[in-house]
Amino acid sequence: MTPVSSLFLAAGLALGLATSAMAQDSPAGPGHEVMTLWPKGPPGAEHATAREEIVERSKDAAVLRDRIIKGVTHPTLIAFRPRHPNGSALLMAPGGGYAWVVMDKEGYEAAERFARSGVTVFVMTYRLPHEGWSAGPAAPLQDAQRALRLIRAHAADYGLDPGRVGVIGFSAGGHVAGVLTLKFDKAVYPAVDAADLASARPDFSVLMYPVATMAQPFAHPGSRKNLLGEAPTPAAIAEWSLETSVRPDAPPTFLVHAVDDASVPVENSLQLFEALRALRVPVEMHLFEEGGHGFGLRFAVGKPAAAWPDLVLSWMKRRGYLEPKGRLRTHPSDGPSTPG
């Protein structure tokens, strides 16, 4: 075991956390640690029906991998350490319509891109709400809150500033990230260990073509059904729609969408943008004429939408989230930050 892996494991044990696998076991490949979110299993599993499996959708995986995880039973974080970390971190939530979690297209590929720019990225798998978890639609929020807290709890191990930890989500993962952005302090699970003393509020939020609304006519049908069931009540629709959950203390938010998105209409981002703006939450939005849905990196090549990672990084820099390591800020919910 490498010294880095030993440090990671020791820190996990000190907090009472479970490390499910080390670098050699990561589905992202060598060099990536895997952290289990719930050391004794996720809450509310008594009637869960999930059976976890990885499915390869690519016709030629040797050329291009396209894996998804179905039936997530053990949510994890997979760490992408930059060669030259700048102290910033991103919790990354891939999409999948709340039917599965995309691994490569909206996970590992984007994580590698941001890691090349010095950002430490943690790709999250999260439970799917329709698979019998007692928390129902709050199950992914449980996982997201726990993941953000674990990243802050391990900030020193990764050389992170706990006041520069953001979240990025794609499609339904954008809904996961958006719910965390707006319900970061909602009590959805009892504390597990010392990590849960940390704040779950992201310092900034990046939502990529997000599933935002649960209301017709702009809701994504599959995500809405998998999150809220066949016939959700008006109260449930309002509770889990991002545009009706906006609060003035929400973190700065960055939105990206394609106007020709036929799966998650651009109105999802437009309505959220207006709601954030109405409450004076710092928000920036970039709309691309073409790009469709789920373009990530691979399907944006050769199109204007390919600029989105640079736009995100430029915004992060302007707002002070890419400060050099050592110039650390303090998160309002935590004690003074120190260099890792």
> What integer pLDDT is reported at residue 59 of this predicted model?
80
Contact 329, 323 (CB under 8 A): yes
What is the mean pLDDT of the segment spanning 142-159?
A: 97
* In the predicted structure, residue 239 carries a pLDDT above the cut 70: yes
Q: Is the pLDDT at 129 greater than 60, yes or no?
A: yes
**Per the domain annotation, does 297 fall within a domain?**
yes
Strands of the sheet with 34-36, listed across from one edge: 34-36, 76-80, 120-124, 89-93, 165-170, 205-208, 253-258, 283-288
- Over 70: is that where the pLDDT of 335 sits? no
Q: What is the pLDDT of residue 131?
A: 95
Q: What is the pLDDT of residue 198?
A: 97
In a domain, 86, yes or no: yes
| 279, part of any domain | yes
pLDDT of residue 64: 78
The 10s digit of each residue's pLDDT in 177-199 is 999 999 999 999 999 999 999 99
287 inside domain = yes
Q: For residue 289, is it within any domain?
A: yes
Tell me how far CA of residue 180 lies from CA of 76, 94, 126, 221, 266, in angstroms. Answer: 16, 14, 13, 21, 21
Residue 162's pLDDT band, with cuts at 50, 70 and 90, is: very high
User: pLDDT tier at 29 (50, 70, 90 boundaries)?
Assistant: low
Higher pLDDT, 338 or 145: 145
Domain assignment present for residue 24? The answer is yes
pLDDT at 176 over 60: yes
Helix (H) / strand (E) element for 275: namely helix 267-278
CATH code for the domain of 295: 3.40.50.1820
Q: Do the domain assignments include residue 338? A: no
Cα separations (Å) of 334 from 71, 195, 196, 245, 281?
34, 12, 12, 24, 22
Which pLDDT score, from 0 to 100, does residue 18 have? 39
Task: Write down the pLDDT at residue 154.
Answer: 96
Least confident interval from 29-33, 281-285, 324-328: 324-328
Average pLDDT over residues 159-183: 97
Q: Give me the percent of the chain exceeding a pLDDT of 70.
A: 86
Q: For residue range 280-312, what is the model confidence (pLDDT) as tens digits?
A: 999 999 999 999 999 989 989 999 999 999 999
Range of the domain at 113: 3-318
Given strand 67-70, what is the order of strands in its sheet? 53-56, 67-70, 101-102
3-class DSSP state for residue 135? Answer: coil
Average pLDDT score, the chain? 88
pLDDT 10s digits, 48-106: 999 999 988 878 777 778 899 999 999 999 999 999 999 999 999 999 999 999 998 88
Q: How many domains does the chain have?
A: 1
Neighbours of 55 (CB within 10 A): 11
User: Residue 186 falls within a domain, yes or no?
Assistant: yes
